[in-house]
Amino acid sequence: MNRRFFAAVLVAGIFGLPLQASAQHSHNSLDGDSPAGDDHHHSHDMVSDKPWEVYGSIYLSIDYNDPGATGQSNVYLDSDGTALGFRGSVPLSYNMAGIWQIDSAVDLTELGENNETEFAGQNSFLGLQGDLGRLLGGKHDTPYKNATHHLDIFHHLPGDYRIMLGKIHDLNSGAGGHHGGAFHIRAPDILMYKTPSLGGLTLEVATFAFDENTTPDVNGDPSAYSLSAVCEVGMFYGTVAYEQHKNYDTYGDAHDVATLVTVDKTEAVMVGLMVHYGHAMLSFIAERIEITDADTVNVPNKARDAYYLSAQTGVENTKLKFAYGIAQEFETSDGGQFIAAGVSHNLSKRTEAYFVYTGVDNEVNGTYGTLKIDAFRTGADPSTFSIGMIHNF
């Protein structure tokens, strides 16, 4: 895909046609109502219809982590998922609406500089919206990540599907990655366009990895693009997504820069299905990640498949949740699987209490964690018990 052509077409299309301002609330930047089973955990991903507003979410939990190998268990407070943001929408000329957002992660439990929070470090952008869709630029979750985001019923909790989806051991995203995956990421320097809903079908496309260095990379300038198609009709939700990175990701131990090798190409394809009825839902995701690199000595040309199944049921204020994930091996015996089970109870429309257990079963060379704790060593089987609360405002 020619990125300059892509950008020119999007800008020309948005500015060259009159658009009707139509900012609306939506989940994960998806138009329309959220599917059943979608909790209020993602309020920071909505688009505002107000001139400006303050919003946020507060997560706080007590976690008991067992390393699953020789080593001490630990108990600690955690606030991963906590965010504070500002957003708004304003009418513009040519019947358009301008949309903006500045979103920052907040750490309630750490001091000093050893946390991953930064001002505007989450979805932060400036954009245009109208009858022909939405165009934005800045920092944002990719279409690939958006496609199945709300099928993750343990988002930011132990059992988050990012435990395994989007990940291969030693494959590191050029975007960094809050939870270490090469895909399901928030991309900086992103230009993204989304169509309005067309009979339940929504398309989203983005390009990112714009090279900001004055010296060209010896392997060629990095580039990346992401595509998704989502169809939601009645009780059914389906999606197909694809993302490709060129000269963007690295392979090797992220803690030892000397081992890192730039990968020629990494790509991922994913399909997701969900059926929901009332407070019950059942979803399935299948994903394939493939690496292609000329330096096969340091970077293997291989692929791995992963699968995720989740179910939820309950009454109006109480929900029972279950998830199972499995990642097949990429290299020798480095796959794994996990289960997550939990219960949540709404104390109010905006406040939820929960209990979650997650256990990981790694193969002998597997390194998957619970999201709250990494594998103590290869082959370790970590687990986490978590009790906490979530409040949105």
Over residues 132-188, the pLDDT tens digits come to: 999 999 999 999 999 998 899 999 999 999 999 999 988 988 887 677 789 999 998
Burial class for 203, CB neighbours closer than 10 Å (0-12, 13-18, 19+): middle
Strand (E) or helix (H) holding 207 = strand 201-208
Instruction: Read off the pLDDT band of 17 (50, 70, 90).
Output: very low
19: pLDDT strictly greater than 50? no
357: pLDDT strictly greater than 60? yes
Strand (E) or helix (H) holding 8 = helix 3-16
Over residues 101-117, the pLDDT tens digits come to: 999 999 998 876 655 67
Instruction: Read off the pLDDT band of 14 (50, 70, 90).
Output: very low
- Taking residues 372-376, report their average pLDDT: 86
**What is the reported pTM?**
0.87
Q: Is the dihedral of CA 372, 68, 63, 343 positive or negative?
A: positive
Take residue 306 and report the two structure tokens written for it.
Answer: 């992963």
Contact 269, 230 (CB under 8 A): no
Over residues 248-295, the pLDDT tens digits come to: 999 988 778 888 889 999 999 999 999 999 889 999 999 999 999 988
| Cα separation, 340 vs 383, whole angstroms | 10
Take residue 56 and report the two structure tokens written for it.
Answer: 């946020």
pLDDT value of position 125: 96
- DSSP tally for the chain: helices H, then strands E: 2, 20
Task: List, in order of start, the domains of the chain with CATH numbers.
Answer: 59-81+133-392 (2.40.160.10)
pLDDT value of position 20: 33
Q: Which of 334, 387, 341 is nearest to 361 (CA)?
A: 334
